[in-house]
Structure 1
């Protein structure tokens, strides 16, 4: 009975810490979002959340608010306390100095330079409970966790499509399938990402701006990225190379057009395929990527099992035609049981459009 009550209290207070951590989403990169709550005598004595690089960590914020009440208290924090100094001193030392008796955390820190805080605290006499509401905490820090655990960014695929799954007509016309409300939502999504990725076909046909418009932008703008087998011919009127936002071409093969792009100030990187491009982006701290390509690039990512989440804006129109551009070009899957599936699906009406969003789960190979 006592253990069950303790577990219920741990989850209740951890949910408060998660709500605090959510304040930092989009503000803390490349640091994780973290929230903390200190409980003393059954009451909240201190709260905190990380506001960005160089700012106090959530634990330190909460300890400062709690003051003397931190002694003998329980600290709830959404990420394992850091055990090494970075831009700020390690939180484990601050916890020990404050006299906190017990620490409850959700996610384990995947950063090898900062991990091990829980074990360090246990070794210094602090009671530690790990992995309380870990799944919920991980959801707040997917880009951070993917970069450190998998060495690649978290990939969100975004597409506006018709009821019959078409991204464009057979003449490559796609303006505008989605509504103004959907497009505004898409710009808010862009603002949360560190790079916006298209293929060479989308770049050449649509001449996209790949910028964040009409919504607030926190931090640096997303990097414009194109991936293709080779560099397309350069045209001076391409928005991609207008210099307003940093831009980068990833190509698998060199050709004579590369020099033209470089003269226009566009970074060109040769890579051997999509996985190496993603690894290069992760090293550059581009940890959340918005994939806005056509059916070919969407197909390449799905077939490589590299699309992690999908955001689909479905308009109440029918385009039809076997030559129209579909969301997943190419052969697709042979059997329904081999199809990727969306889980944790949310649906919302944006005017006449239906927004569908979910994590992508792939069948076992």
Structure 2
């Protein structure tokens, strides 16, 4: 495959990322139709997961799709659902070549889309930018695969010495506006924003995306064993406007169950791990309900439980140039480690300056 193939497929991948956070439970796919070196159609998965990227790009291309090449960021679907298979749509439009980085892991597709195309005489090229595409679709693959859970990004905004609040609980604001704006952009690229009950009680967060022009807000998720969250807080007051899901333990107070249900929240029973909601159970339930990408903003107890359970796929830190001291609240709660080899490790993926702060992104180190 040529550098031209790489350029057009990279564009398809970038278009697909525009849908991240908006397409669950479907993958966020991008498609570019090229004829005689000129782009004649492009599209990406619409909010809610439909229409898919390929029919939108084909509609834009019209008759110019005949004899063209389709660059798609994931194997075209092969199953009949609410819409016909995209592989068949490409064939019907007269596409003669398809370039896609890798196969879909969904068992309803998993190579069948490529088989349908090849059987119809369409040339299929795969493997280009596969690693990049695998990262883009990691949440969809995790949910559709054996782990049956969403991709989890853990965000920590802390002082230079790893504190997220003073001893009195003051935390606004450790980082400056550029870092906080980036957090809103990251929220927008995830299906849901998640916090623990302590953060919900102390900070009274809205967990919405603001000043970014989004039309579809991510879900808000709270992990709360007893449902003992403020019924007059921002989450409660806006539960009918932006969905609130609460992962809780068994035997909750019936009056709290009734109150939160009445406010419009969705209650999700989960197993316990000791005295806390088991994070593995919670993520499996959230995956069962269709979520593919979750952005967790703490607090320290929830962060520790997710790390201890080896559920964090991506770690994003925002570090400010101030020191709070040992009496401050640590960004990560107790992990109970006795030896360094037991510590969860991540590989540095990116660093950048954001105003006076530093953002650093880390990815899970494969076992």
Judge same fold: TM > 0.5, yes or no: yes
Matched, 1:131 2:127: yes
1:195-214 equivalence runs, <5 A: 195-214=192-211
- Select the residue among 66, 73, 86 that pairs with 1:91: 86
Give per-residue Cα distances to partners, 1:263-290, cap 9 Å, x unaligned.
4443332211222221222233332211
Name the residue aligned to 2:114: 118
Match of 1:347 among 348, 351, 355: 351
Does residue 100 of structure 2 align to residue 105 of structure 1?
A: yes
Q: Which runs of 4+ in 1 moved over 6 A?
A: none
Answering whether residue 246 of structure 2 is matched by residue 252 of structure 1, we say no
Report the alpha carbon displacement of residue 113 of structure 1 after superposing the two structures with TM: 2.9
**Aligned positions of 1:205-354 closer than 5 A:** 205-219=202-216, 221-232=217-228, 234-243=229-238, 244-256=241-253, 257-272=256-271, 273-321=278-326, 323-354=327-358
- 1:151 is aligned to 2:148: yes
CA contact (8 A) 1:344 1:359 kept: yes
CA spacing shift, 1:172–1:107, aligned 2, 3 Å: same
Q: Is the 8 A contact 1:80 1:117 kept in 2?
A: yes
| 1:184 aligns to 2:181 (yes or no) | yes
Change (3 A) 1:69 1:203: closer
TM-score scaled by structure 2? 0.85
Match of 2:275 in 1: none
For residue 139 of structure 1, report the CA deviation from its aligned partner: 2.7
State the alpha-carbon separation in 2 of the partners of residues 198 and 205 from structure 1: 11
Q: Which stretches in structure 1 are left out of the alignment for 5+ residues? A: 1-5
> How many corresponding residue pairs?
353
Q: 2:28, 2:244 → 1: CA distance? A: 27
Q: Which residue of 2 aligns with 1:3?
A: none
In our comparison, the structure showing a higher alpha carbon Rg is 1
Distance (whole Å) between structure 2 residues aligned to residue 15 and residue 260 of structure 1? 48
RMSD between aligned residues = 2.7
Distance 1:188 1:12 in 2: 25
Matched position secondary structure for 2:101:
strand
Q: Deviations over 1:182-209 (max 9, x none)?
A: 2222122222222221112212222222
TM-score (norm 1): 0.85
| Cα distance change of structure 1 residues 156 and 55 upon mapping to structure 2, 3 Å threshold | same
In the superposition, relative to structure 1, how do residues 206 and 60 fare at CA in structure 2: closer, same or farther (>3 Å)?
closer
